[in-house]
């Protein structure tokens, strides 16, 4: 089986990408792509995004299997907790789901989600915005009441 560097080089060549164009597509710096391509890192947080961009399974990109496709669930890489979290998000409203995705992306250090890249995007004010003049319109119940 091939390794990560050769798989990524192959995928970039097939899609006509260089380090800069791949970096633009996934929202990172060319230096981050260079670290992967030179073998300095094999545990980058960008790898799942690269696999999604090129339509391949992460285990394929990492050189762990030869089959390009398949979902993460089929290769056993999704834990029971992750499946449970997915179930929660499927039952949420679209607005709540976007908030959860935004929070998860920020915690994971991922690039902004598509809706955050719009020129008119403004995150909702939170209690943490008091230093910026946030004043709640209406006080709700406190925790424990």
- Look at residue 22 and tell me if it is in a domain: yes
| Predicted confidence (pLDDT) per residue in 103-145, tens digit | 887 888 776 655 555 555 565 555 555 555 555 555 555 565 5
Between 97 and 22, the higher pLDDT residue: 22
Say what percent of the chain tops pLDDT 90: 22
In this predicted structure, the answer to whether residue 72 has a pLDDT above a threshold of 60 is: no
Q: Do 48 and 101 contact (CB within 8 A), yes or no?
A: no
The pLDDT value given to residue 67: 82
| Predicted confidence (pLDDT) per residue in 73-92, tens digit | 445 566 667 767 777 777 87
- Look at residue 66 and tell me if it is in a domain: yes
- Look at residue 139 and tell me if it is in a domain: no
Domain range spanning residue 106? 80-128
- Look at residue 99 and tell me if it is in a domain: yes
Q: What is the CA radius of gyration of the chain?
A: 19
């Amino acid at each position: 089986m091939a390794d990560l560097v050769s798989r990524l080089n192959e995928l970039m060549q097939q899609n006509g990408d260089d380090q800069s164009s791949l970096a633009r597509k996934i929202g990172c710096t060319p230096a981050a792509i260079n670290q992967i391509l030179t073998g300095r890192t094999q545990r980058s947080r960008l790898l799942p995004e690269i696999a999604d961009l090129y339509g391949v399974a992460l285990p394929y990109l990492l050189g762990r299997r030869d089959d390009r496709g398949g979902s993460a669930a089929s290769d056993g890489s999704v834990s029971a907790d992750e499946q449970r979290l997915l179930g929660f998000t499927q039952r949420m409203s679209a607005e709540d789901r976007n908030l959860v995705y935004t929070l998860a992306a920020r915690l994971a250090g991922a690039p902004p989600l598509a809706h955050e890249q719009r020129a008119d995007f403004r995150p909702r004010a939170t209690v943490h915005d008091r230093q910026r003049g946030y004043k709640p319109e209406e006080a709700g119940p406190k925790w424990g009441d």
